[in-house]
Chains A and B, each alone.
Chain A
Amino acid sequence: MQFEIVAKCPTTKARVSRLKLSHGTTALPTFMPVATQAAIKGLTSQQVEALGINLILNNTYHLNLRPGMKIVKEAGGAHKFQGWNHNLLTDSGGFQLVSLSKFTKITEEGALFSSPFDGELTMLTPEECMSIQHTIGADIIMQLDDVVSSLTTGPRVGEAMWRTIRWLDRCIETHEKSGKTETQNLFAIVQGGLDPDLRDQCLDEMIKRKDRVAGYAIGGLSGGEEKDIFWRVIKQCTDKLPEDRPRYSMGIGFAEDLLVCVALGVDMADCVFPTRTARFGVALTFNGPLNLKSSKYATDFGPIEKGCPCPTCSDGQSRAMLNHIVTLETAAAHAITQHNLVFQARVMGGVRNAIIAGTFPQYLKTFFAQYFGNEGYPECTRTGCKMG
């Protein structure tokens, strides 16, 4: 992996960088769409890359269950299986274990969970988690972390944080022994909940492992905590994390949140939001979201967004036509998904250009004014930007 910073914002902590991985170079900051089950829902790999996207996420938990590692290995890895030739990141499956499995018991050894299909109990250890991600073959792999909800309080938070550090060490060991460190890059995940002291201790420990870790994710957030607290934790992490490692904020997808994270020094984020909301008929635009199900669009013959280069808008597909088919035809889901992914990419592309030009604060102001319009943008966003 090569990580090269090419520009820094003089005002905020934002920076533009290039991340060179085994399947190409990705310009950061970027937003990563989620291809949960080896597909961005409704789209082919060719459609996704045509949108200018070159880094997506696969879920380890899901792929391990279906199709399973035997098939992924036979196919030659997840890239080949889904026809994706560019960069791929896999999460560890830690979050899904806690959120999707009916039974999960965390021990020092690993996470004991029951399969949602046959109820069979399986133990997912840090070592096994590495092995699965090795088979998948993603360019960036995540450590197995002991995940607790951001709203949890008490000793469990500290316990999870320290265990995450110990699991990081085990992941590093397994990964280094695998011989895959040249092609697959391991990221650590900073935990510690909303407690500044725990976060600080976690940061210190993980930064000690800097030379054996390719990047850092900020985990344990997006669990429903207040935005002001969210920014505070992000800032605390990005203040301390080394400049020469990419910073990944997990589960962030709203444009306003992405921009504040970037201002605070984050380089990458993933979220199902833009693709999921597309399937529900909501198109994201620089003037705010449009609910295309609404009858007010039934006779609107303009595109979702004038000037948008996505296949849907550039073909002139009208809001009226989309209104007619939204939630009723899969073709509507595909069209809006393509648009929303391009929206996300344009937001982040604009960010990169602005940082390079030294106009990032202006970009933020303009974006928020246009996106939130008459409502004015949320106070927490303003606070977050000020922090950066």
Chain B
Amino acid sequence: MSACTLAFTLQNDFAQFAPRLGTLSLQRLDGTSTPEIQTPGFITASSRGVVPHLSRDHVKMTNAIRLTNIPFESFLERTPPVPTLQPGLKPLHAFLGFPTWQHILSLSLRDPFDGREMPANNKLYVSANCIRGVRKVTPADWRNYAIACKPDLVVALSDVPYTNQLHSQKRTTKGIERSTGWLADFLRPVAASLTGEEEEAKPHHLNVLVNLVGGTDARARTLFSQGLIETLHGREQEQVQPIHTLDEGVSGYIFDFLPLRLSLDTKSMTEPKQAIETDMFAELARASLAPLPQNKVRIAYSTTSPHEILRFVQDVGVDLFDSHWAQRAANIGIALDFRFPAIPDDMPIWNDEHCPCPQLRSNGKWDLGHNLFSEKYAHQHTRLASSFLNGTSPETQTEDSHVCPCGACSPSSLSIYLTHSSADARYLETEVPQRPYTRSYLHHLLHTHEMSSHTLLVMHNLSVMDAFFAGIRQVLKSSPASFLRELDRFAQTYDESTELFDEAEKLWAKIESERGKGRLAREKQSSGQVTTE
């Protein structure tokens, strides 16, 4: 058994493909512990090691950020990659400024949300992207980087082609073979020479996540998973001893939907495309999970709506999702405004003329949020979301009315701040809640291309996602039998189509073209394939 320090405990009785409640925690070898992550929950997306648009003080105050994925590839611009040079016991955490007692970091080589076409991998290396261009990363490199950075979770290298076409059977088989081989290689104990000690090789204490590959071929996916639980013999087993199957060395499973989505020929699909795609992916996920033990954490990357998240909770039993969709919404000026369970139409906060709810679409469903670029928000001097109260709302919080704790809706003036001379006054004795940032102000910031617009929207949208998952967990805890009914009600209430995002993107592109380019132009480039058909 590898010295796995990840603990994932499932709390309810569950079927193999059904909603589950879980708790993820880590006991680190240095004795520090991490907060417990309740599942279903989410992983925050990062770019170049930061949560986009958030300075560290804002990351600290956004409690929604607990588990973050760090793509390593941006650091390949230098040799050796700089985080591997950071001194200390937890280099990745220290370099990026995520306190170990508050944050769990997962390390992947590639950015899961970058769907750009890449040069092909081969059996010797994976192609990765950094600002200086494509870099070839061998399995040995990857192991060394992971061992040097000491993330809490690390994703083993896998071979997934990023090309816009259906893959041949041969390509898929190759991908499976390589991925299996690379996982085996990754699970080898650290060579004695690396630890500099005389004793025999030690397990490397990394918690390994594996991508369940196999493309859109259900049988291939099942085959890959069977390979994970196959008992190893002879030399193969010697290499990874003391474990006997690859799965023993694995802490969790990842479903990466972006490459699947890219490889699908959606033109030939009938409507409703989104629902069909979701069902297809759920089936593929089940094919992957069928042979595998149920008590390991299941992670899904690149879901494209809260509706899809609910379906994967219901139909597959996925534990962790990403918040990239919500963060992308912030980049294009959308303030999310939805809850789970869905807010009943007749609730007073949904019908407040001073805080109008999102737009009703022609299909009778509400938008999932507000496109704050729209002119109608220029005069709405009210908090961002109708679904949530803000920190200074006079209405008392009841079971039905929740406060959004984010830095936009519930800002507060700190009790301690800097003074610079003996002549300076100190203003506050205690933390004082402030009025929320308004839709009209955000509208103004977006139109004047001010960066703080994205800062406020990211904090808000992550908090809405946090509340969404808290709502899922609450239903699963108190009345699991009603989950499916609530899922259906959510789907009836909120619009799953991309109309809101499309409109916002158009307005955002217009504003951006009137100014200079920067990170956001590149970001748009890399994620463009996710949100456009």
Contacts and interface: CB of A to CB of B under 8 A. Distances in A.
Are these two chains actual partners, yes or no? Answer: yes
Interface of A: 6-7, 16, 18, 24-25, 27, 37-39, 41-47, 49-52, 54, 62, 66-67, 71, 74-75, 80-83, 85, 298-299, 301, 309-312, 315-318, 320-321, 324-325, 327-335, 338, 342, 345-346, 348-353, 356
B425 interface: yes
B378 interface: yes
Interface string B490-501: 000000000000
B444 A348 contact: no
Contact of A52 (B53, B54, B94, B417): B417
Contacts of A324: 48-49, 74-75, 77, 82
B434 interface: yes
15 contacts: A18-B425, A25-B425, A41-B451, A42-B450, A46-B407, A83-B437, A299-B78, A324-B48, A328-B48, A329-B48, A335-B55, A348-B420, A349-B424, A352-B421, A353-B421
Contacts of B94: 316
Contacts of A315: 56-57, 97
B423 A6 contact: yes
B417 A331 contact: no
Interface in B414-449: 414, 417-425, 427, 434-435, 437-438, 440-441, 443-445, 447-448
B199 to A, nearest CB: 31
A332 B443 CA distance: 24
A62 B449 CA distance: 13
Contact of A46 (B54, B414, B427): B414
B423 A46 contact: no
A71 B440 contact: yes
Given A41-B451, A75-B438, A301-B86, A353 B422 contact: yes
B29 interface: no
Nearest to A349: B420
Contacts of A81: 438, 440-441, 444
A81 B382 CA distance: 11
B378 A67 contact: yes
A85 B413 contact: yes
A334 B49 contact: no
Contacts of A338: 55, 57
B451 A330 contact: yes
A349 B451 contact: no
Given A324-B77, A330-B454, 9 more contacts: A27-B423, A27-B425, A37-B445, A38-B441, A44-B437, A310-B418, A325-B48, A335-B56, A338-B57
Contact of B87 (A298, A301, A329, A353): A301
Given A67-B440, A329-B519, A317 B56 contact: yes
A42 B52 CA distance: 12
Contacts of B518: 327-328
Contact of B440 (A49, A75, A321, A342): A75
Interface residues of B, number: 62
Contact of B379 (A74, A85, A298): A74
Contacts of B47: 329
A42 B51 CA distance: 14
Contacts of A16: 421, 423
Contact of A27 (B378, B414, B421, B447): B421
B481 interface: no
Nearest to B74: A324
B95 interface: yes
Contact of A24 (B131, B427, B450, B454): B427
A318 B95 contact: yes
B195 interface: no
B57 A311 contact: yes
A51 B418 contact: yes
Contacts of B54: 331, 334
Given A27-B423, A311-B56, A331-B53, A49 B448 contact: no
B530 to A, nearest CB: 20
Nearest to B417: A50
B455 interface: yes
A83 B48 contact: no
Which among A38, A41, A43, A324 has the greatest number of chain B C-beta atoms within 10 A?
A324
A350 B443 CA distance: 39
B423 A298 contact: no
B148 to A, nearest CB: 14
Contacts of A316: 94, 97
Contacts of A331: 50-55
Contacts of B471: none
B456 interface: yes
Given A6-B423, A49-B413, A66-B444, A298 B451 contact: no
A348 B54 CA distance: 28
B55 A311 contact: yes
Contact of B417 (A27, A49, A335, A350): A49
Contacts of A334: 53-55, 58, 451, 455
Interface string B351-390: 0000000000000000000000000001101000000000
B95 A46 contact: no
A19 to B, nearest CB: 11
Contact of B456 (A18, A27, A44, A350): A44
Contacts of B425: 18, 24-25, 27, 54
Which among B48, B77, B420, B456 has the greatest number of chain A C-beta atoms within 10 A?
B420
Contacts of A27: 421, 423-425
A299 B86 CA distance: 8
A66 B519 CA distance: 25
A52 B420 contact: yes
A27 B418 CA distance: 14
Contacts of A7: 423
A356 B53 CA distance: 40
